[in-house]
Structure 1
């Protein structure tokens, strides 16, 4: 065990939970009105503003 930092495990678990929450909700753009929508897995693909069903997945920025 690491004797240097007793809270290391708790911080690592909190960080992992944050990453999972960020991945769970994806941002989509409506093809009709251009509104930003945050959609969870298994949630119907539908614009919250206009009801249009064609959505574009927003690109992510890759870190270097």
Structure 2
């Protein structure tokens, strides 16, 4: 078995993951923000894709997704 040195793949080909540590421009579309509730101070925290999961007021990292305002109805049988 011959020992060859590891060669880093060339970046000539288009890859889904770019060199800045994120996905390419196809994923950086203006995504809507989702509102979460802070578990510590109950503040409403809007987050977009890629945002840090942390309360902007107190810095707490436990966020709960807000309940939907949409009517949800289950049919009993």
Q: Does TM, normalized by the shorter one, top 0.5?
A: yes
Per-residue CA deviations over 1:10-63 (Å, capped at 9, x if unaligned) read: xxxxxxxxxxx6x62000000001011111111111000000000001011224
Aligned length: 43
Higher CA-based Rg: 2
Aligned residue in 1 for 2:56: 48
Question: Is 1:27 the counterpart of 2:27 in the alignment?
Answer: no
4+ residue stretches of structure 1 with deviation over 6 A? none
How much is the aligned-residue C-alpha RMSD, in angstroms? 2.0
Give the number of the structure whose residues are more often helix, by fraction. 1
TM-score by length of 2: 0.49
Greater relative contact order (CA < 8 Å, ≥ 6 in sequence) = 1
Stretches of structure 2 lacking an aligned partner (at least 5 in a row): 1-29, 73-77
SS for the counterpart of 2:46 is strand
